[in-house]
Structure 1
């Protein structure tokens, strides 16, 4: 899985790499993250609300309008409210977690979101 992590704490990305075969790209600013998105295809994005903010939500909503189906985990700031959560979900966020996050929880949510939840009848 190819994962983009836009977060101020690069230890999150390092923790996600442990025990996985995921290719992980990191950015600590939205401008750097958006440049990566323009040039690479990712299976999942992990976006920190405090860095990405409204600009990131607008870009996500635009991509979703073109049928982009990648997984997006939104890491919410401790003080963000219900209105912020509603805005994120309306823009197309797959799942939300509140910062600080547990890397194992993030891994589990990504695996569930990317892997089908059913088995074939063969």
Structure 2
């Protein structure tokens, strides 16, 4: 009886953690940072709204695209790129590719996605409030 009660309590405690873990993975608000691949760095800004992220790539890419929330994969949130908002070869090339975010802390996100020619990685931090 004791072991059954302990297992039940442990299960309830562990089950109570799952919603917090799932919610912690999805970012909110506006984030900024750099993405990098082999020998290129590009600044970007991402604004998260429910189930969507709006992405602005600075020069030399100079394009805007959004990505829709797809799923949680452990501690990682997965979004899928939609059609480009203002065109541009780079943004057109990420259509239907996955964008992955992992919260390192409340003030840092790691991101990774496959671009048209290579894999891009970056770190983002919350944008200062206006």
Q: Which has the higher helix share?
A: 1
Higher relative contact order (CA 8 A, sep 6+): 1
Q: TM-score, normalised by structure 2?
A: 0.28
Q: Which has the higher strand share?
A: 2
Q: TM-score, normalised by structure 1?
A: 0.29
